[in-house]
Amino acid sequence: MHDIRYIRENAAAFDAALARRGLDPVSPSILAIDTSRREKILAAETAQAEQNKASKEVGAAKARGDEAEFERLRALVAEKKAEIARLNEEAKAEDVALNTLLMEIPNLPFDDVPNGKDENDNVEVKKWGTPATLDFDAKEHFEIAGVIPGMDFETAGKISGSRFVVLTGAVARIHRALAQFMLNTHVDENGLTEAWTPVLVKEEMMYGTGQLPKFGEDSYKTTNGWWMVPTAEVTLTNFVNGEVIDEATLPRRYAAHTQCFRSEAGSAGRDTSGMLRQHQFEKVEMVSITHPDTSRDELDRMTACAEGILERLGLPYRTVALCTGDMGFGARRTHDIEVWLPGQNKYREISSVSVCGDFQARRMNARFKPTAGGKPEFVHTLNGSGLAVGRCLIAVLENGQQADGSVNLPEALHPYLGGRTTLSADGQLV
């Protein structure tokens, strides 16, 4: 959510920043509502002062027996009372309209975000590892012989429908091992605090992180009003919802492994094969709550944390800075990490790390108390995948595949698999 004072004082710059996202100017409509609202508030205050003055004079007129003045003043009090009620009601309605409009405007990109219209204009900032040269035709994850016994889309379809999967046996264990490896690395080496959070949240929590009101169709809502989280970003970031925390406690860094739920609205026909795009999946999410002065550096630190997981697993990847036209609603800058998938012969997103500035904090009214004193200030928030577990499973299986249908597993996972190193062609851990 944006600061209306900033828009008043920097209308041209505000519209210019939105233009980089391909949006038309919005400050004229915003400022028209804001001006009208402020005028009504001022008029109500003026009417209140007039009412107060008339109320004091009513008694004096009555005391001196001036019945005509008494009646005039009493009528004036009633008139001003009705006027105040009307003005306050109109100002309240315009305040709601203003906040609704501000809620639907995306964040402003940092100056160093590349300009562009879509993913084709994203800029590569790093590449790590070299995709292996295979002497056989690479298969997609769901086609690998050793994977097929443990990745069941038919049973999932019977139970739940399309875009679900049932994992069993060795494949399920590798999936679990990946999540544990990610969590342990982030906690033991990257200094994040592990959290276990609900996957059902109140509606206001979805507003706080920006999933609502604009993107409600992308998530699932229960019949009693809870929302199923699209990622633990929602729960972890809302830890500070409505709070005023001490500056000395910043930064606060969290990691959580949760089930995630997305309707995949608008993605019909995309990635329908395999488990690349599912309605239910798991992620290890990272969230940082920081001081405004350190949030940009925190973006680079979080990106390195996510990259480090892939490097420990030996998975080639590239990191791209998203352009203005491809960046998410709440982000000021985003780094996407794309892992190499031999079966598709391309890099595919496995993590997206974003700095949101005070955009989410304003929606949540999350502030910190400066150590040096002064008024509370809004915190800055960041979020990122560390990593998407299912997509990491896909990458491990495809990059480790062998000609005979077996899969060589990354050394980093061996301790989590009881020392086993291979998924055999018949689907066993050996």
What percentage of the chain exceeds 90 in pLDDT?
94
Same domain flag for 36 and 132: no
Same domain flag for 138 and 253: yes
Residue 358's SS3 state is: coil
Please say if the pLDDT value at position 342 is more than 90: yes
Q: For the chain, give the mean pLDDT.
A: 96
Q: Is 162 labelled as part of a ligand binding site? A: no
The verdict on residue 52 lying in a domain is yes
Q: Is 351 labelled as part of a ligand binding site? A: yes
Task: Specify the pLDDT at position 90.
Answer: 97
Nearest-angstrom CA–CA distance, 300 and 78: 62
Confidence band (pLDDT; 50, 70, 90) for 63?
Answer: confident
> What single letter denotes the amino acid at residue 287?
V
The verdict on residue 133 lying in a domain is yes
- Domain end, chosen from 103, 137, 167, is at 103
Same domain flag for 147 and 38: no
Same domain flag for 127 and 58: no
Task: Specify the pLDDT at position 270.
Answer: 67
Same domain flag for 98 and 162: no
Same domain flag for 293 and 409: yes
Please say if the pLDDT value at position 261 is more than 70: yes
Q: Is 20 labelled as part of a ligand binding site? A: no
The verdict on residue 290 lying in a domain is yes
Same domain flag for 307 and 270: yes
Confidence band (pLDDT; 50, 70, 90) for 337?
Answer: very high
pLDDT in tens, 10-31: 999 999 999 999 999 999 999 9
Q: Is 267 labelled as part of a ligand binding site? A: no
Task: Specify the pLDDT at position 267.
Answer: 63
Task: Specify the pLDDT at position 273.
Answer: 85
Same domain flag for 126 and 86: no
Task: Specify the pLDDT at position 266.
Answer: 62
Task: Specify the pLDDT at position 111.
Answer: 96
Task: Specify the pLDDT at position 28.
Answer: 97
The verdict on residue 109 lying in a domain is no
- Domain end, chosen from 56, 79, 103, is at 103
- Domain end, chosen from 62, 78, 103, is at 103
Q: Is 50 labelled as part of a ligand binding site? A: no
The verdict on residue 204 lying in a domain is yes
CATH number of the domain to which 268 belongs: 3.30.930.10
Task: Specify the pLDDT at position 269.
Answer: 64
Task: Specify the pLDDT at position 84.
Answer: 97
Same domain flag for 190 and 85: no
The verdict on residue 108 lying in a domain is no
State the residue range of the domain holding 12.
Answer: 4-103
Please say if the pLDDT value at position 287 is more than 70: yes
Q: Is 285 labelled as part of a ligand binding site? A: yes
Q: Is 398 labelled as part of a ligand binding site? A: no
The verdict on residue 113 lying in a domain is no
Same domain flag for 367 and 289: yes
CATH number of the domain to which 15 belongs: 1.10.287.40
> What single letter denotes the amino acid at residue 157?
G
Cis peptide leading into residue 387 (ω within 30°): yes
Task: Specify the pLDDT at position 268.
Answer: 61
Give the tokens for residue 72: 């005039």
Same domain flag for 42 and 136: no
Of the chain, the end-to-end C-alpha distance in Å amounts to 52
Same domain flag for 123 and 86: no
Please say if the pLDDT value at position 53 is more than 90: yes
Please say if the pLDDT value at position 371 is more than 70: yes
pLDDT in tens, 213-249: 989 999 999 999 999 999 999 999 999 999 999 999 9
Domain count along the chain = 2
Q: Is 140 labelled as part of a ligand binding site? A: no
Task: Specify the pLDDT at position 131.
Answer: 96
Task: Specify the pLDDT at position 130.
Answer: 96
Please say if the pLDDT value at position 379 is more than 80: yes
Task: Specify the pLDDT at position 264.
Answer: 81
Axis-axis angle for helices 389-400, 295-313 (nearest 10): 40
The verdict on residue 110 lying in a domain is no
Q: Is 36 labelled as part of a ligand binding site? A: no
Residue 53's SS3 state is: helix
Q: Is 349 labelled as part of a ligand binding site? A: yes
